[in-house]
Copies of this chain bind each other. A is one copy, B any other.
Amino acid sequence: MCTKILISRIVSYFLFRKYKVYIDKTIELGTQLTPKFDANGLIPAIAQDAKTGEILMVAYMNREALDYTIKTSCGTYYSRSRKKLWKKGEQSGHIQKVSQILVDCDQDCIILKVAVDSGQCHTGYQSCFYRALKKGTAEQLEFVAEKVFDPDKVYPS
């Protein structure tokens, strides 16, 4: 009896492994968009300038934001702080025009190739990544970009 259970468990294990490999291959090498949202229903999305390659920002999308982005070609996210759909540029008017949507191998991250007509960071910089770690230090940042707009004029408090 014990041998029967053991054999059954070994068979189940190998069948599960084979099934997992099949599922992984389908996700990784298939042509069906099956985005993997996390436990909070979100997937990270990188907005990258289609022309220069500069990474402008990283935000999160829920299913609704992704569908809206696909439908409208306007970069749309889910604001985790405001807990609602966030159409980028809805306040400033400077939207992200999406020319291409890429997905990674395990479909848990998205890139939006975008065209923008203004700085994308609420602090006034073109990109949110305006600081770099200073060479030879472990914690010291230095600014590597110049402001391109005055945030107090665009987002008055």
Contact = CB atoms under 8 A, between A and B. Distances in A.
A152 interface: no
A26 to B, nearest CB: 12
A103 interface: yes
29 contacts: A30-B141, A31-B131, A31-B142, A31-B143, A32-B139, A32-B140, A33-B138, A33-B141, A46-B46, A46-B55, A52-B53, A53-B54, A55-B111, A58-B104, A67-B138, A70-B133, A70-B138, A71-B138, A100-B133, A101-B132, A102-B129, A102-B131, A102-B133, A103-B132, A103-B133, A104-B129, A105-B128, A105-B130, A111-B129
A53 B49 CA distance: 10
Identify the 10 closest CB pairs spanning chains A and B, nearest first.
Answer: A53-B53, A104-B128, A102-B129, A101-B133, A58-B109, A33-B139, A31-B141, A105-B128, A102-B132, A104-B129
A110 to B, nearest CB: 9
A138 to B, nearest CB: 5
A104 B57 contact: yes
Interface in A99-157: 100-105, 109, 111, 121-123, 125, 128-133, 138-144
| Contact-residue size bin, chain A (C-beta under 8 Å from the other chain) | 35 or more
Contacts of A128: 104-105, 109
